[in-house]
Structure 1
Amino acid sequence: MDMVLVLSDDVAAASRVATILQRTFLVDRALSVREAKFAIKGGEHAGVIMNLEVASRGRVTAAVKELLAYGSKPILVLTGHQKEADIVQIFHAGADECLPSTVAGVELLARARAMIRRQENHLPVGADIVIGALRINPVGRVVTLDGRIIELAGREFDLLLALARRPGYTFGRHELQKALWGEHSPGRLNVNTYITRLRQKMGEVAGRPRFLHTVYGKGLKLHGSGVGQLRQPEQIAATVRKIES
């Protein structure tokens, strides 16, 4: 399930919007642009719903620009500024959607779904995916890390590609199984096996990840934190044995 961030300067308005969105999304909240920037730092949010009801048009457009400069997330703006010039300026600032604050809940939910779906489908199928020092070529099925090719088996590549297409998003167990085998999953143990193999070949371990981050109780996500260090195969094997013992 995708997570969206509701940015609102009004608690009651935020609750109304969150209640609507919770039919489809996990919902996080922020009461200021500063809080929103901190919230999206981890990259888990699929989009932002901005509802600054008492803000001027200038403040709304400035908030959109500030969030986009901090992280590339699709933004749906709810605002009372509905003159043509207002809407044009909000779109020019970088918003993906602009709706009146009084929009019906069913339309808000449909627009949010469509916005996020467009974002997920925006990446061309054959385009390289680059996350820090990690580069993935989906067509050639080639992975390089720090300029060196990593040899991955078929399902190891499929797992990495699924994670990389949605950097920062936490994949649950069922989603990881689906990435590996479609709807027909042989079980939990096999998922753990492929995660371990992928970590080993990328030179990292769960306790000090560079790209593959375990979210305890939720699943696995990929983002380039730069925290981990590249290790030699013998170091990796020894550390894995220590963790699993």
Structure 2
Amino acid sequence: MVDDDPTVAEVVAGYLDRAGFAVDRVADGPSAVDRAAVARPDLVVLDLMLPGMDGLEVCRRIREGGPVPVVMLTARGDEDDRILGLEVGADDYVTKPFSPRELVLRVESVLRRSGGAPAPGPWLRSGGLALDPAARRALRDGRELPLTIREFDLLAFFLRHPGRVMGREELMRRVWGWEFGDLSTVTVHVRRLREKVEDDPARPRLISTVWGVGYRFDPAGGPDPATAAPAVSDPAAEAGEVGA
């Protein structure tokens, strides 16, 4: 738990402790990075605004040592803050003021996906992509893909449902397990996933945007990128105003 507000840290730590978690508290960014280097945490609840080093940089540095689930706390409801948190690899975020019970549920959800029972089934394959659900390994042309928990789950879901168009509401429900939430979470994760699996993320051939509906995974790689229009030419559409 990384938060420089002692009241927030005490309340959140208390709720997490009662839920059965062992909580280690620090109050600034450098201390969080140092502590994570000594003892790798199972999950980090990380405030965005911290003295010495902001939460975005803390997240980046902790992740340099390997994948660690991160739930980001943002003091403002500013969409830019939320998207920044997701773009540096946060698996979830909660906006202050928040319900400590909700935070506990979010922590439990992220941990289930990161350390729960291995998913059954054989490797999932499409072209140069290969995913091992049991070991939670993802390869592209034989090289390991550095996917976050949600990125892995999203790609696995796409591979299990090739050629099918899925709206962001359905993806949020079936990949995140949420019945409601900020749909920009899905948008950001799709964009980050494209950056890791597409040859040219600006002209995606695997994960296409179907205007007004959602996204489709094309196992054959879709149309020729030399003739295809960019999947998203209007940022407002990809943010959700047109239902992308």
**Common fold by TM > 0.5:** no
Structure in which a larger fraction of residues adopt strand: 1
Structure in which a larger fraction of residues adopt helix: 1
TM-score (normalizing by structure 1): 0.44
Which structure's CA Rg is the greater one? 1
